[in-house]
Chains A and B, each alone.
Chain A
Amino acid sequence: MAYSEKVIDHYNNPKNVGTLDKASKSVGTGLVGAPECGDVMRLQIEVDEATGVIKDAKFKTFGCGSAIASSSLATEWLKGKSVDEAVKIDNMDIVEELNLPPVKIHCSVLAEDAIKAAINDYRKKNGLEELVFEEKGVH
């Protein structure tokens, strides 16, 4: 199976690899997937408390090239968005942007789950109610 150029580019030059201080109140961390399933994503956002805008995003991913590319792309999209906008990122946008084949759609779902988990972690830390999301259940 050949990878799309965009997947290869994110794999070779991943954006925003790294770790934010997960103890910080302005940082939300989402850890999704499982080692047994062959992919684990950790996505972190740092929110500007005054504006509610995501000023930084970092990821680390254990997984195939498509999983790495999906999380790398997600961090790029998150930066500069408000938390409310970030919630709306849909896995199919990632599929489209990266030209993921059907067997790799679960990578995009995982990235969406990671975004939502990070947002909920941030909300929890700041005394806000956690959002309830519909199960995508593709993976």
Chain B
Amino acid sequence: MLKLPIYLDNNATTPMDPRVLESMIPYFTEHFGNAASRNHPFGWEAEEAVDYAREQVAKLIGADPKEIIFTSGATEGDNLAIKGVFEMYASKGNHIITANTEHKAVLDTCKHIEKLGGEVTYLNVKADGLIDLKELEAAIKPTTILIAIMYANNEIGVIQPVKEISTIAKKHGVLFFTDATQAVGKIPVDVIKDGIDLLTFTGHKMYGPKGIGALYVRRKNPRVKVTAQMDGGGHERGMRSGTLNVPGIVGFGKACELCRLEMEEDTKRISKLRDKLENALLQLEEAYVNGSREHRLPHVSNISFKYVEGEGLMMGFNKNIALSSGSACTSASLEPSYVLKALGLGDDLAHSSLRFGLSRFTTEEQIDYTIKAISETVLKLREMSPLWEMYKEGIDLNTIEWAHH
């Protein structure tokens, strides 16, 4: 039976897998100990559970458990990696390279670095959302200490050429940090094969709990260190103080294990559904996929429906389908998506975009329902759109003098 409402906003957060919840429950009540309590069984139990989870987390990304620093989530990981490297390697240089399609947690941290006297280069991306490797290499200077480029983008799902980036970083002796929040658990990520020095991700984007994430910090070739941004009891090898969130960590570990074991099967099924959705919606006139379709996460699609506005579009079905739009109206700032604009999309196309994020729990019936609901709403709103009428009459909208307000 079709279950409503349908959740297709899985890039924002995923539902937690019931198996994850089950693994966590004993650690709230029965095994409530502090993992740092070294002198009694309550502490030992908690520590054991954390150690086990640390292995589960490390295994998913091909890391050593000692290289995993538990955090509160990807935003903290972004802050700790960038600010921590900036402080730790201050004697080497103060220049960081990133891209203008990064998540705000990276961009705003870089802005902060600039205020502290650091220098940041923001690379533009190509029309397909990928960075230009030549531009990246050209941006490196003697003072460059860090390249911060995301693994996959949260709005368009485009996967950056991580291996090529790490090769360039290595060649110039620069550290490479990647925000892999959208990628880990969805596609194979291997810190060794990919040549990553620092990597952040979070539990709640991969069917785990909110409030728990990890920062991978490489220990060998090279040994990377970050300056702690939170001082206290010296937990997590001194890089992140604070009593460990044991139930969260246990759940995060379980979520990582499930992703590792089920990713391949899940991806086959989900990418088929995504393609079905995308191909059906592209049957509509003037509908365009944003970003590379080739280098892209298997569960994401970002489509612009020209001449209809995203928020108006969502209103046609948002009682039954949960989605995001790049439209200004959905944000507090009234600015359309900066990621879509970075691809070179006009504001009008950015306003007309919808982001679909499928999950392990998405069904074919839900996709069929979504195709129908969105197609109908697009057609209905185009009948109501003066821009659609002009387009149909062959009027070039660029020739009209709009009253910008």
Judge whether B386 and A36 touch: CB under 8 Å: no
Cβ of B302 to closest chain A Cβ, rounded Å: 17
Judge whether B404 and A35 touch: CB under 8 Å: no
Of all chain A residues, the one with the shortest Cβ separation from B311 is A64
Cβ of B353 to closest chain A Cβ, rounded Å: 11
Which chain A positions have C-beta within 8 A of B351?
35-36, 38
B138 within 8 A of A: no
Known: A19-B389, A65-B312, A110-B405. 20 other contacts (CB 8 A): A14-B384, A33-B405, A34-B403, A34-B404, A35-B347, A36-B404, A38-B309, A38-B311, A38-B327, A38-B351, A41-B386, A60-B389, A62-B309, A62-B312, A62-B387, A63-B329, A64-B311, A64-B315, A64-B329, A103-B332
Known interface pairs A33-B402, A36-B348, A38-B351; A68-B384 also in contact (CB < 8 Å): yes
Of all chain A residues, the one with the shortest Cβ separation from B400 is A31
Judge whether A17 and B389 touch: CB under 8 Å: no
What is the 8 Å Cβ interface bit string for chain B, positions 321-332, against chain A (1 contact, 0 not)?
000000111001
- For the complex of A and B, the 6 pairs showing the least CB-CB separation, nearest first, are A34-B402, A36-B347, A35-B348, A42-B386, A60-B386, A64-B311
A61 within 8 A of B: yes
Of all chain A residues, the one with the shortest Cβ separation from B328 is A38
Judge whether B312 and A63 touch: CB under 8 Å: yes
Of all chain B residues, the one with the shortest Cβ separation from A39 is B309
11 contacts between A and B (CB under 8 A): A34-B403, A35-B348, A37-B404, A40-B386, A40-B402, A60-B389, A62-B309, A64-B327, A67-B309, A103-B334, A139-B405
A residues 34-92 near B (Cβ < 8 Å) are 34-42, 60-65, 67-68
Q: How far is the CA of A33 from the CA of B387 in the complex (A)?
A: 11
Q: How far is the CA of A113 from the CA of B404 in the complex (A)?
A: 13
What is the 8 Å Cβ interface bit string for chain A, positions 4-27, against chain B (1 contact, 0 not)?
000010010010010100000000
Judge whether B385 and A62 touch: CB under 8 Å: yes
Of all chain A residues, the one with the shortest Cβ separation from B351 is A38
Which chain B positions have C-beta within 8 A of A34?
402-405
Which chain B positions have C-beta within 8 A of A113?
403
Q: How far is the CA of A42 from the CA of B328 in the complex (A)?
A: 20
Interface of A is mostly: mixed
What is the 8 Å Cβ interface bit string for chain B, positions 393-405, against chain A (1 contact, 0 not)?
0000100101111
Judge whether A67 and B312 touch: CB under 8 Å: yes
Of all chain B residues, the one with the shortest Cβ separation from A63 is B309
Cross-interface CB contact of B403 among A33, A62, A64, A103, cutoff 8 Å: A33
Cβ of A61 to closest chain B Cβ, rounded Å: 6
Cβ of A25 to closest chain B Cβ, rounded Å: 21
Cβ of B385 to closest chain A Cβ, rounded Å: 5
Interface residues of B, count at CB 8 A: 30
Q: How far is the CA of A39 from the CA of B307 in the complex (A)?
A: 10
Q: How far is the CA of A42 from the CA of B332 in the complex (A)?
A: 26
Which chain B positions have C-beta within 8 A of A39?
309
A111 within 8 A of B: no
Q: How far is the CA of A3 from the CA of B3 in the complex (A)?
A: 24
Cβ of B215 to closest chain A Cβ, rounded Å: 34
Which chain B positions have C-beta within 8 A of A14?
384
B336 within 8 A of A: yes
B residues 352-405 near A (Cβ < 8 Å) are 383-389, 397, 400, 402-405
Which chain A positions have C-beta within 8 A of B384?
14, 17, 60-61, 68
Of all chain A residues, the one with the shortest Cβ separation from B398 is A35
Known interface pairs A33-B405, A64-B311; A17-B386 also in contact (CB < 8 Å): no
Q: How far is the CA of A35 from the CA of B311 in the complex (A)?
A: 14
Judge whether A62 and B327 touch: CB under 8 Å: no
Which chain A positions have C-beta within 8 A of B347?
35-38
A94 within 8 A of B: no
Cβ of B7 to closest chain A Cβ, rounded Å: 18
B308 within 8 A of A: yes
Judge whether B402 and A68 touch: CB under 8 Å: no
Which chain A positions have C-beta within 8 A of B312?
11, 62-65, 67-68
A32 within 8 A of B: yes
Which chain A positions have C-beta within 8 A of B329?
38, 63-64
Of all chain B residues, the one with the shortest Cβ separation from A137 is B405
Which chain A positions have C-beta within 8 A of B26?
none
Judge whether A17 and B308 touch: CB under 8 Å: no
Interface centre among B347, B385, B397, by most chain A C-beta atoms within 10 angstroms, is: B385
B173 within 8 A of A: no
Cβ of B342 to closest chain A Cβ, rounded Å: 16
Q: How far is the CA of A39 from the CA of B386 in the complex (A)?
A: 10
Which chain B positions have C-beta within 8 A of A33?
402-403, 405
Which chain A positions have C-beta within 8 A of B309?
38-39, 62-64, 67
Judge whether A32 and B403 touch: CB under 8 Å: yes
Of all chain A residues, the one with the shortest Cβ separation from B387 is A62
B233 within 8 A of A: no
Of all chain B residues, the one with the shortest Cβ separation from A65 is B315
Which chain A positions have C-beta within 8 A of B334?
103
Q: How far is the CA of A60 from the CA of B389 in the complex (A)?
A: 9
